[in-house]
Amino acid sequence: MAELHFFTGTMDSGKSTLALQTNHNHAQRGRVGRIFTAHDRAGESILSSRLGLTHDAIEVPDDFDFWRYVVDALTQGGRIDYLICDEAQFYTPQQIDQLAKIVDELQIDVFTFGILTDFRSVLFPGSARLVELADRMQTLQVEALCWCGKRATHNARTENGAMVVEGEVIVVGDVDDIDEEPADVAYEVLCRQHHRRRLTAARAKAVSLAPEPLPFGSAG
């Protein structure tokens, strides 16, 4: 029986790498699939991993109809055994419903990959619908780490190195490298405590480099 799978984790937890590996494994067994993505950091119609792996993909705008695409492909004599759907948090709830219909009515496996919450710690609508509908939901075992070493559970957006909690939900960026200068818009994974305190790696580093106060008071 076909199933709707949802693999989730914070940024930098290997979701896109797993999506590419899943496609490879099924293709090696002679199965034919289609790869979809939305707002990938590498650009339009590309599925990319931070390990440097890439694959051509079909871009999913808000008005894309998965059901119509698959039915048209099958009607024209094409073969589709499975779908790989990366960055699924950006899909609309209606598109998630279409994917579930493909599983149920056409018996085609669908593998979706995405993060649960945005930089405000609010569920993405697409991810929320996947939680409601997926046959299987799995949190990735490759845990991303906060700069402090604890397990990262929250996604943070930074602008010029400072964490922000307001703004457009979808802004493409990448995970900040602690050793590089902060990008104009970037993302960072944090534990809940440091997300709540808005203490990013750059801010923590700046605090640690601040001069210590002298251990004595000034003379009266």
The CATH number for 79's domain is 3.40.50.300
Q: Tell me: do 177 and 118 sit in the same domain.
A: no
Residue 163, helix vs strand vs coil: strand
Q: Is residue 145 part of a domain?
A: no
Q: Is 87 a catalytic residue?
A: yes
Q: Is residue 101 part of a domain?
A: yes
Q: Tell me: do 46 and 111 sit in the same domain.
A: yes
Confidence class of residue 200 from pLDDT cuts 50, 70 and 90? confident
pLDDT at 183 (0 to 100) = 52
Residue 26 structural domain: 4-139
Question: Which stretch, 29-43, 55-69, 136-150, has highest mean pLDDT?
Answer: 55-69
Q: Is residue 12 part of a domain?
A: yes
Q: Of 87, 132, 159, 168, which residue is the catalytic one?
A: 87
Q: Does the structure show a pLDDT above 80 at 62?
A: yes
Confidence class of residue 76 from pLDDT cuts 50, 70 and 90? very high
Q: Tell me: do 131 and 22 sit in the same domain.
A: yes
User: What is the spatial distance between Cα 143 and Cα 15, in angstroms, rounded to a whole number?
Assistant: 11
Q: Is residue 197 part of a domain?
A: yes
Higher pLDDT, 64 or 158: 64
Task: Out of 116, 139, 162, pick the residue that ends a domain.
Answer: 139
Q: Compute the average pLDDT of residues 27-50.
A: 80
Question: What is the chain's mean pLDDT, rounded?
Answer: 84
Q: Tell me: do 61 and 125 sit in the same domain.
A: yes
